[in-house]
Structure 1
Amino acid sequence: TVQVSNQEKFLILYEVDVETEFLKASDAACDVACLMYDTNNPHSFDYCASIYKQHYMDSSIPCMVVASKADLPEVRQLHGMTPAEFCYKHRLPPPLPFSGLSLDSTSKNIYTKLAWAAMFPHLNDSNMSNTFRLKVTLGAAVVTVLGFAIYRAFARQK
């Protein structure tokens, strides 16, 4: 159980074995996808990246990347880019560190973040329309301020 908006919610986790393939699209259906890789295994993140690209990149399902075994030294992943670069490129939150050995507040917080993402997927929306709206709003504000400044300059000359 986790607390979300002062309500107790149940987070049901289903682990997909890396040895099994998703047979159909419905196998990847969920409220939130948590892609976990082993920071100590250089081949681990490559699998997460391929699953994301194959099943979640074009979907509306929020995804989170979790870096497990955060208590061990991190090795360079043999994917084309680092997990942080991958997340940035695909507009995902940066990888969250997790260690099963020391369940500190950071590791426990992951469960809450997963529940938030599942309950409020629109807050995790990575489509470009939000960016476009922000640019239009900022552009309109700049034009308004410039227009007002020009109006005041002409008003002073009269």
Structure 2
Amino acid sequence: MIKRYRILADYHQFYLWDHGESPDAPTDYTEADTVLRIKAAPFVVVVQPERNMEVPVTVEIRDEAPEVALAAWDHVAEASLALPSGKLEIHECTGGSIDILTVPAGTYRVRAHHGGLRTLSDDGLDGNDHYRIVLWPAPFADIAVLKQYVDPSAGS
């Protein structure tokens, strides 16, 4: 299943969570969390886009792990998400629910791909950044960064 969305990434975040649990999104962010661009808490994964605006997001649900293809992406990170209800909710930070997708109940791996990060305007309002989220059934594992983005303007 592949779905495409335009998601308001207010406060540079949107959520994937278990609809049955309706968890609270984490609020205890560290600088390390922002560098990872992904954060997990029970029944929720926070994806942290570069822009604090509406961004294009593709969500793909698979039966098995996809190939790791890093070349086309600026940043790729993974986290685990428990979906005991079998209802994956995609939710904006300050908006509401975007969609609820039915999946087999269980634990999933969430791989967040961030692309076009170097296309942002100086004020961060415009750009061609885009995001691909892939989920597949997998045992629980810690957050992993497969490719780390380093902002070329950082430290200047």
Is TM more than 0.5 here?
A: no
Q: Going by fraction, where is helix more abundant, 1 or 2?
A: 1
Could you say which structure has the larger radius of gyration?
1
